[in-house]
Amino acid sequence: MTALVLLSGLPASGKTTFAAALAPRLRARLLESDRVRRELFPRERRYTRDEHARVFAAVRERAAAALAEGRHVVVDATNLRARDRRGFVQLARRSGARLVAVRLTAPDAVLRQRLSAPRAGVSEADVAVYERMRGREEPFAYPCIHVDSRWPLDPSLALAEALCREGA
């Protein structure tokens, strides 16, 4: 059985760090929305509704293709609202893949500190983006691994990996 790992969390909560550690363990297809956005819009990114729709259509399409090939998939995006997650939940169901949801968190002060420091990677999120997204988080309607990214990640990675492999 394949698995779709759906990450969720505010900017700097540690999604990309977690995804980069998990994907090789599962030999999963890693789909980072920020990277796909850069690929589709290399010159300038506007973060409009239309741009968002195109990025997520591409992410879902690639996820569907990987699952159809029998590969696990890790989706790295903020996915804060239920409606952001719905397409992936439906895709997992349609593909007969196990949905493994992971919510990354850290306290407000830690997130602000991380966002103020120079950042590696392709995310363009800064404190202003964080301010806009705060408070948009909606609870998950299904089981979810909660990860506080101040702790070592290994036990959470092992749990996510085990859930993905269960029933394989």
Ligand X SMILES: Nc1ncnc2c1ncn2[C@@H]1O[C@H](COP(=O)(O)OP(=O)(O)OP(=O)(O)O)[C@@H](O)[C@H]1O
Please list every residue from 1 through 40 that binds Mg ion, using CB under 5 A: 15-16
What is the smallest separation between the CB atom of 154 and ligand X, expressed in angstroms? 10
Name the helix (H) or strand (E) containing 145. strand 144-148
Q: Which of 34, 84, 156, 160 binds ligand X (CB under 6 A)?
A: 34
82, 144 contact by CB (below 8 A): no
The residue (of 4 and 18) whose beta carbon lies closer to ligand X is 18
Burial string for 34-57 (b: 16+ CB within 10 Å, else e) reads: bbbbbeeeeeeeeeeeeeeeebbe
Burial-class residue 151 by CB neighbours within 10 Å (0-12, 13-18, 19+).
exposed
Which of the stretches 7-15, 40-48, 51-59, 81-89 binds ligand X when contact is defined by CB under 6 A? Answer: 7-15
Closest-approach residue to Mg ion (CB) = 16
Binding mask 93-112 for ligand X (x = CB under 6 A): -----------x--------
**Which range of residues in 84-92, 114-122, 135-143, 156-164 is near ligand X by CB under 6 A?**
114-122
Distances (CA, A) of 63 to 53, 56, 71, 89: 15, 10, 9, 12
- Interface residues with ligand X (CB under 6 A)? 9, 11-17, 34, 78, 104, 114, 119, 121, 123, 125, 149, 153
